[in-house]
Structure 1
Amino acid sequence: MRLIDWQLAFEQHLLSETSVANSSFAATLLGGPTLDVDTGLAIYHNAYLSRLQEVLRHDFGAIWYWLGDDEFALLTQAYIRRYPSAHYSLRWLGGRFAVFILEHLVAEQSAPLAEMARLEWAFTLAFDAPQGAPLTLNDMAQLASEDWPTLQVILAPSVQQLLCRFNTVAIWRASKDESDFPGSQALNLAQLCLVWRHENVCHYRSLEPGEAFALAGMVTTGWSFSELCAQLVVTYEEGAPLQAVTWLKQWIQDGLLERRVP
């Protein structure tokens, strides 16, 4: 048997649903005085699955908290069989977990659980994202007055946005606090949750509709600061510039924004 064929056979054994090895593959190996071939291959098979599930428990701790040991083990085993690790780094193992949940479970179960998977994966993406060059309050203090009206911004590389239709953030928080499970509930009004890294620490917060509208206008639609103020006049009237400055200051303090380059 060529080396590549043997390696592929070993891979097929690790990815199979059973720990019992193919007899022709097992025949290529020799057992030792205290460990026969079949037992050794079964150990490898089970250890491989166990290691991948350990990674998923780390990346999706809130789902583990939600489902419990047995249900989480069944779900992650099915996921690994459906989407085997295809990258040399286990960092990317959970990239399709939310999609798999939607495929694998009925809609009533899958929708809130997939939203949690997206939230937890957002923390992973935020943590590993490039640093970028977020604006600081000192940058804004040095901005010439004539440049304020045309100021445009984009999100810093680490910022992840998630529209939550369930009390996903409350459940995630309970999992971190190791408090009682609050129960999954649909929100009366969907909320935008931001997850980002600032000064090497991951942060999150939910935005009220007005702030979410303003932030989307600047970073997605491309409003300048003067256009933001004009949009806010409808709701805040004479207080629009103050509200615009207040939100902009908060976004910059949080490390959410970079200056848009023309």
Structure 2
Amino acid sequence: MQLSALQQALQAYLAGASDRPPAELLEQLQGSAALGAADGLRIYHNAYRARLLAVLREDFPALQQWLGTESFEQLALAYLAAWPPRHFSLRWLGEKLPEFIAGYVAEPQLSPLRELATLEWAFTLAFDAADAEVLSAADMACLPAEDWVSLRSSLAPSVNWLQLQYNTLALWKAAKDGEPLPELIRLPDACSCLVWRHDLLCRYRSLEPDEATALRSFVGGESFSGLCAALLPHHGEQAPLQAAVWLRQWVSDGLLVRLKAGA
């Protein structure tokens, strides 16, 4: 058997549900007096699967607490059978779990489970996102007055914007703090939630509807002067002040990257 064929056979065995090695693979391996080839392969098979399950538990701790250990393991094993690792880094192992849940779980559990998995995965994405030079308070202090009118920004690469239909943040926070999970509640209105990395820490917060609308407008291409104008109908003469207050908060949070003129 060629080396490439042997590698493929070993990969197929490790990804399979059974720990019983196929005969064609055993024929290519030689065990020792202390440990036969079949037993060695079984140990490798079980250790490999245990490592994959451990990674999923680390990435989705709230989901595991909500489902319980046994149900979470059933979900994880079904997911691994459908989506075995396709990347050299285990960092991407859980990438498709929210999508997989959509086809594995039925309502009424489907939507809240998928939303919780999406929230937890957002923290992984934020942690590993590309670095960027975000706007700082010092940058804003040095900004000439004439540049404020045309100031435009985009969200930093680590920012993930979620629309939550349930009290998913409360569920996630309770799990993170080691507390009993609250009862699942569907929110009267969808909640905008940001998950991002700033100063090497993953952060999150929810936005009130007015702030969410303003931020979407500002990072969607609107200039600061345009943002002030958009706030006039609801805030009147206080519109520039409200825009400045929000901008200060967004800069303090490390959410924004300044766009160059003409970008």
1:164, distance to aligned residue in structure 2 (A): 0.6
Query: Match of 1:258?
Result: 257
Q: Distance in 2 between matches of 1:245 and 1:50?
A: 51
1:24, distance to aligned residue in structure 2 (A): 2.3
1:118, distance to aligned residue in structure 2 (A): 1.1
Q: Distance in 2 between matches of 1:182 and 1:126?
A: 25
Q: Distance in 2 between matches of 1:157 and 1:36?
A: 50
Q: TM-score, normalised by structure 2?
A: 0.96
Query: Could you give the per-residue CA deviations for residues 99-121 of structure 1, whole angstroms, max 9, x where no partner exists?
Result: 01111111321211111111111
Question: Per the alignment, in what secondary structure is the counterpart of residue 143 of structure 2?
Answer: coil
Give the unaligned 5+ runs of structure 2: none
Alignment of 1:93-132 (within 5 A): 93-132=93-132
Query: Match of 1:55?
Result: 55
1:254, distance to aligned residue in structure 2 (A): 0.6
Alignment of 1:204-243 (within 5 A): 204-220=204-220, 222-243=221-242
Q: Distance in 1 between matches of 2:98 and 2:247?
A: 32
Query: Match of 1:245?
Result: 244
The farther-off stretch of 20-29 and 197-206 is: 20-29
Question: Per the alignment, in what secondary structure is the counterpart of residue 107 of structure 1?
Answer: coil
Q: Distance in 2 between matches of 1:259 and 1:125?
A: 22
1:5, distance to aligned residue in structure 2 (A): 1.3
Give the unaligned 5+ runs of structure 1: none
The farther-off stretch of 145-154 and 243-252 is: 145-154
Question: Per the alignment, in what secondary structure is the counterpart of residue 19 of structure 1?
Answer: coil
Q: Which runs of 4+ in 1 moved over 4 A?
A: none
Question: Per the alignment, in what secondary structure is the counterpart of residue 158 of structure 1?
Answer: coil
Question: Per the alignment, in what secondary structure is the counterpart of residue 194 of structure 1?
Answer: strand
1:3, distance to aligned residue in structure 2 (A): 1.4
Question: Per the alignment, in what secondary structure is the counterpart of residue 143 of structure 1?
Answer: coil
1:217, distance to aligned residue in structure 2 (A): 0.4
Query: Match of 1:157?
Result: 157
RMSD: 1.1
Say yes or no: does 1:82 pair with 2:82.
Answer: yes
Q: Distance in 2 between matches of 1:144 and 1:5?
A: 65
Q: Distance in 2 between matches of 1:40 and 1:112?
A: 41
1:40, distance to aligned residue in structure 2 (A): 2.0
Could you tell me which amino acid in structure 2 is paired with residue 8 of structure 1?
Q
1:47, distance to aligned residue in structure 2 (A): 1.1
1:7, distance to aligned residue in structure 2 (A): 1.3
Q: TM-score, normalised by structure 1?
A: 0.96
Query: Could you give the per-residue CA deviations for residues 124-171 of structure 1, whole angstroms, max 9, x where no partner exists?
Result: 111111221111111111111111111111111111111111111000
Could you tell me which amino acid in structure 1 is paired with residue 116 of structure 2?
M
Number of paired residues?
261
